[in-house]
Structure 1
């Protein structure tokens, strides 16, 4: 079975051991790069993160020990191994991990670092496109809104948004060819804190 034919996995909830392994900043960066760009070698990752292939190879093996990544079946050689992140959703908030202080800390480090990386990618994109005047030339959807919703209405909207994203991800996941680029897809929908006007009177 090739990497393009691997079956979909149910959402994996990371345990404390996997979260601890992932809490190393370079390992999380490697894991995130494999998630966003697909299979890579230790050498290609080393060029991107500015480390030696020996360093990235070590961290790849550590990630593999916890089933966070795996070798690409039938691809590469003994000297040039290819690694990939298995498909499927991953939940970083683990009830099992939150039982201990060490588990809580690892969870916090992983989640904060993950979203810090995503935020830095967004800021880098905004800086690179700061001189683009025509929105038609900007291949991005950047929009914010505020809505007054009940919890039931929120879950209805969240399901609809999630379904649209899943549809397009599955439809075009393995697409290659001219004009194809990888896009980061984010959906940040969360309740705002209560606004106490008495504090500002």
Structure 2
């Protein structure tokens, strides 16, 4: 049986530490590109190294990121995102107003970055893409009519497929390997009421 890295739900302190657009971007870059230094992250986002170091320390204080063991110097530290899934809480009526505001900031920024990456993928120049990487992606949308129980079943099936793929390819490297993003979205649509004219 495969041992999955544990899933973490963010507590209010970690959620507040992450509730800054630049910190969400840092967290996302460490997920996407692997370990980075304050200098390399600063170059990627157009900030100063000093500002980046401040935000990295704030994230590390809540174990959202960690220093890479055995890498770096006293002047140049390497940072990484711990392995495992992060469960982002959506704004919830049981939250305090400040926690709800933090959840809104974090989820809005994560989804803004996801949309930005999707649009960059859709609008990229085909001539800049190696031939073997053209047309290997997929974007699929469909509409279904489900009960809440059926949606739970579909969610479990999709989660199992994603976990199997992650297990199969975790830690893979090589000249033909590229970082890819795998998205699975399943959510209910707002209900609408229609009125008929008599």
TM-score by length of 1: 0.86
Partner of 2:138: 141
2:72 to 76, 85, 89: 76
Partner of 2:83: 87
Consecutive unaligned residues of structure 1, counting only runs of 5 or more, are: 1-6
Is 1:168 aligned to residue 171 of structure 2? Answer: no
Q: Aligned ranges for residues 84-163 of structure 1 at < 5 Å?
A: 84-93=80-89, 98-129=94-125, 137-163=134-160
Contact 1:15 1:97 survives alignment (8 Å): no
Is 1:31 aligned to residue 27 of structure 2? Answer: yes
Which secondary structure does the structure 2 equivalent of 1:198 belong to? coil
Is 1:187 aligned to residue 189 of structure 2? Answer: no
RMSD: 2.6
TM-score by length of 2: 0.87
Q: Distance in 1 between matches of 2:104 and 2:77?
A: 31
Q: Distance in 2 between matches of 1:199 and 1:80?
A: 67
Q: Give the ranges of 4+ consecutive aligned residues of structure 1 lying more than 4 Å apart after TM superposition.
A: 94-98, 129-132
Q: Distance in 1 between matches of 2:175 and 2:64?
A: 31
Q: 1:62, CA displacement in angstroms?
A: 1.0
Q: 1:77 to 1:198 in 2, by over 3 A?
A: same
Instruction: Report the number of matched residues.
Output: 193
Q: 1:200 to 1:187 in 2, by over 3 A?
A: farther
Partner of 1:22: 18
Q: 1:116 to 1:98 in 2, by over 3 A?
A: farther
Which secondary structure does the structure 1 equivalent of 2:195 belong to? helix
Partner of 1:3: none
